[in-house]
Amino acid sequence: MKKRTTILLQQILGGLYILAGIGKFIPQLESVEIVLIESSIANKNNWLAIPSQWMAENYIFMTWWIGIAMIVAGTILLLNHYFVRVALLGTLIMIACFMLFLYKSEPKIFIVDIPFIALAIFLLQKKIKTNQT
């Protein structure tokens, strides 16, 4: 795949992350509070109970943390900044955490997030292979 196509895919992913990050602050699109409360209930009887409850109780902090992280990562990808590899790795870790905590309460997370994971892995592999920024 040509470098130009790879950068275009990276910028599309970055734009989607920015939109998703902004969406965290718009409860009509996605209420982080409700998602975290449902996750806390779904994880009541397993090892995720304590962190799930903490996140639900601190949903405002979590909304800001997740929203800003997604916007920053998206901006780095969109602008093809020096930290692209770090942003891709960070988003992979973030999505893995989303899936871990939300799979019981939001099983559709797999349908929504697997394309993001696949594209991030593909781009990360390209960046490492070609030693691009």
Domain residue ranges of the chain, discontinuous segments joined by +: 3-130
Look up residue 22 and give its two tokens. 């902004």
Cα 105 from chain centre: 17
- pLDDT tens across 14-64, in order? 999 999 999 999 999 999 999 999 999 999 999 999 999 999 999 999 999
pTM, full prediction: 0.91
Average pLDDT over residues 77-83: 91
**Contacts of 21 by beta carbon, 8 Å cutoff, 6+ apart:** 66, 67, 68, 69, 70, 71, 72, 74
Residue 13, pLDDT above cutoff 60: yes
Residue 132, pLDDT above cutoff 60: no
Asked if 58 contacts 64 with a C-beta cutoff of 8 angstroms, the reply is no
Residue 12, pLDDT above cutoff 60: yes
What's the rounded Cα separation, in Å, for the pair 86 and 68?
15
Choice among 3-7, 50-54, 110-114 with the minimum mean pLDDT:
3-7
User: Count of residues for the chain?
Assistant: 133
Look up residue 64 and give its two tokens. 């800001």
What's the rounded Cα separation, in Å, for the pair 41 and 22?
26
